[in-house]
């Protein structure tokens, strides 16, 4: 009978996923192995000669096959890392992207740079990744996070609980600002952030299969030009933002000029900037009042 050590499995899975054109095949192989064996990544290398046996081999085989069919690794292992926080993910929510960490970084910088910051609103929170990362790094901030999907909010609730942030973060279900009654049960926010659905109809058709066939369409599609949600957020944000507050939105790489126009048209902001991600794509629009 063939003996499968960790070393041999890592090499075999990496080669298989490479042939199937899966992104980051070595990392994917490591994550699948860690998940099945209950190991940390470092242990794969300190226990290179460890022999893996049934039933773990069978479980691994099934997951590798699904990964080869472009099911996202995050969903297969049920977790991901975002801004150094381990988070639960399920097919009910988008898998947080590294680009969104830039939004978190700018949100934290802004909140740390103003006098007596107290509150942030995260619209379209999904897994709760942005809300959790900002709350974890700005202990004095109260965060309200909304999403239209109850299933996504159930995942967010687990993440907020896992990181002991229940006193700081309130999750509300509904359409954008609808669950919040401005001036009645909430005072205005220092900061409003959102990574809304922003994929245009045409772009959606061309998305990679690991995204299009597995991630929720409601988390991705922003209408014909992808900007339906940005437009609605920009139009209404004035009712929910302090007079010296800021709005930060994640956008698609070609949407910067259009969203800048939207912000300019409100006449609310004295400073508007478009920030680029590590790949030098326009990624975040920031408006400061």
Ligand X SMILES: C[S@@+](CC[C@H](N)C(=O)[O-])C[C@H]1O[C@@H](n2cnc3c(N)ncnc32)[C@H](O)[C@@H]1O
Q: Which residues of this protein are in contact with ligand X, per CB under 6 A?
A: 93-94, 96, 100, 124-127, 129-130, 146-149, 152, 175-176, 195-197, 218-219
Supply the minimum distance, in Å, between the C-beta of residue 104 and ligand X: 9
Supply the minimum distance, in Å, between the C-beta of residue 112 and ligand X: 21
Nearer to ligand X, 68 or 223 (CB): 223
Nearer to ligand X, 64 or 89 (CB): 89
CA–CA gap between residue 86 and residue 109 (Å, rounded): 22
What is the CB neighbour count within 10 angstroms for residue 183?
10
Nearer to ligand X, 249 or 268 (CB): 249
Nearer to ligand X, 146 or 210 (CB): 146
Q: 69-103 burial, b for 16+ CB within 10 Å, e for fewer?
A: ebbbbbbbbebbebbebebbbbbbbbbbbebbbbb
Supply the minimum distance, in Å, between the C-beta of residue 81 and ligand X: 13
Q: Which helix (H) or strand (E) holds 155?
A: helix 150-162
For ligand X, the nearest residue by Cβ is 126
Supply the minimum distance, in Å, between the C-beta of residue 193 and ligand X: 9
| C-alpha distance across the termini of the chain, in Å | 69
Give rounded-to-5 percent helix, strand, coil for the chain. Answer: 45, 20, 35
CA–CA gap between residue 232 and residue 148 (Å, rounded): 14
Nearer to ligand X, 64 or 229 (CB): 229
Nearer to ligand X, 44 or 230 (CB): 230
Nearer to ligand X, 23 or 150 (CB): 150
Supply the minimum distance, in Å, between the C-beta of residue 23 and ligand X: 17
Q: Which of 26, 169, 1 is nearest to 85 (CA)?
A: 169
From residue 102, give the alpha-carbon distance in Å to each of 178, 230, 234, 249, 263: 27, 18, 20, 11, 20
Q: Look up residue 237 and give its DSSP letter.
A: G
Supply the minimum distance, in Å, between the C-beta of residue 92 and ligand X: 8
Supply the minimum distance, in Å, between the C-beta of residue 100 and ligand X: 4
Contacts of residue 119, defined as CB under 8 A and 6 or more positions apart, other chains included, come to: 141, 142, 143, 144, 186, 187, 189, 190, 191
């Amino acid at each position: 009978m063939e003996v499968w050590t960790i070393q041999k499995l890592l090499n075999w899975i990496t080669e298989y996923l490479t042939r199937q054109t899966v992104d980051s095949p070595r990392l994917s192989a490591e994550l699948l192995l860690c998940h099945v064996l209950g190991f940390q990544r470092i242990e794969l290398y300190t226990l290179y000669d460890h022999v893996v046996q049934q039933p773990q081999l069978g479980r691994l085989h099934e997951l590798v096959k699904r990964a080869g069919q472009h099911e996202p690794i995050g969903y297969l292992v049920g977790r991901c890392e975002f801004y150094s926080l381990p988070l639960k993910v399920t097919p009910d929510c988008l898998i947080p992207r590294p680009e969104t960490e830039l939004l978190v970084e700018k949100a934290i910088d802004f909140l740390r740079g103003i006098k007596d910051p107290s509150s942030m609103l995260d619209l379209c929170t999904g897994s709760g990744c942005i809300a959790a990362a900002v709350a974890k790094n700005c202990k004095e901030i109260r965060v309200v996070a909304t999403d239209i999907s109850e299933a996504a909010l159930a995942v967010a609730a687990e993440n907020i609980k896992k990181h002991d942030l229940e006193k700081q973060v309130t999750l509300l279900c509904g359409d954008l600002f609808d669950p919040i009654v401005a001036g009645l049960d909430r005072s205005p926010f220092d900061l409003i952030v959102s990574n809304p659905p922003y994929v245009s109809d045409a772009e959606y058709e061309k998305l990679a299969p690991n995204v299009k066939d597995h991630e929720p369409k409601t988390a991705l599609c922003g209408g014909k030009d992808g900007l339906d949600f940005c437009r609605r957020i920009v139009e209404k944000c004035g009712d929910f933002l302090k007079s010296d507050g800021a709005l930060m939105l994640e956008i698609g790489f070609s949407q910067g000029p259009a969203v800048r126009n939207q912000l300019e048209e409100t006449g609310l902001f004295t400073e508007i900037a478009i920030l680029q991600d590590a790949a030098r794509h326009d990624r975040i629009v920031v408006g400061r009042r």
